Amino acid sequence: MKAVILAGGKGTRLAPYTKILPKPLMPVGDMPILEIILRQMKRAGIKEVILTVGHLSHLMQAFFQGGQRIGLKISYSFEEFPLGTAGPLSLIEGLDETFMVANGDVLTTLDLRDMIAAHQQNEAVATIATHTRRVKVDLGVIQYDGDDRIAHYIEKPIYDYNVSMGIYLFEPKVLEYIPCNQYLDFPDLVLRLIEAGERVKGYSYDGYWQDLGREDDYEQAVQDFESLREQILGD
């Protein structure tokens, strides 16, 4: 199985760190977050990985090169201009079997082998790893019922949402819904698949997951990694 890792973003929410270092090279423990993801993919049986790169791509090429150090075949797909999260897939050749796509800034204990097995069993064209994220509103929430009439008052409510973990499994048919070299994000791609009647499934995971998009999330992930290292890497 091949995998595509989206590593071309500028990581603006992690500035100023990402002014000189691409977000996938941000260190977590003794290695970059991208290396952790690559090692998890190798453990799951993935042999070849394509990195979609743009911002500071030369640093990622210099660090990972062809993947020999990790035991993977790594190649690079360059974006001349931003193509969103799904658009870069249109530039990659050879995605003619089930393939994985992942963001280059995700720290999780998810066993990718289990997700692959579920995807194959469900015979889905796309499977999205999901996680329940709890959001607390530290204010009283007012609900209106027309003409400024207050219908309900909720003090500091807590809401649970199923969110995308940034890990996907796709069948080659998905590529038919991605225009070549045009901007497209994953939410728009998924909506296109649903509207076309394609089978899109979720893979719910309640274990550890952290997106490294914001500074406080990144700092939390760095703290968590040491205690979860064996679960994350299988060492």
Q: What is the pLDDT of residues 11-67, one digit of tens each?
A: 455 444 545 677 888 889 889 999 999 999 999 999 999 999 876 778 888 989 999
By DSSP bridging, strand 140-144 and strand 200-204 are unpaired
Write the CB contacts of 226 (distance below 8 Å, at least 6 apart in sequence). 29
**Active-site annotation, residues:** 156
Write the CB contacts of 87 (distance below 8 Å, at least 6 apart in sequence). 178, 179, 181, 182, 183, 184, 185
Task: Supply the pLDDT for residue 215.
Answer: 80
Task: Supply the pLDDT for residue 212.
Answer: 84
The ranges assigned to domains in the chain are 2-130+163-233
Task: Supply the pLDDT for residue 20.
Answer: 61
Q: Specify the CATH class of 2-130+163-233 in words.
A: alpha beta
CA separation for the pair 26, 173 (Å, rounded) = 34
Task: Supply the pLDDT for residue 235.
Answer: 65
The model carries a pTM of 0.89
Low-confidence ranges of the chain (pLDDT < 50): 11, 14-16, 18
Task: Supply the pLDDT for residue 11.
Answer: 47
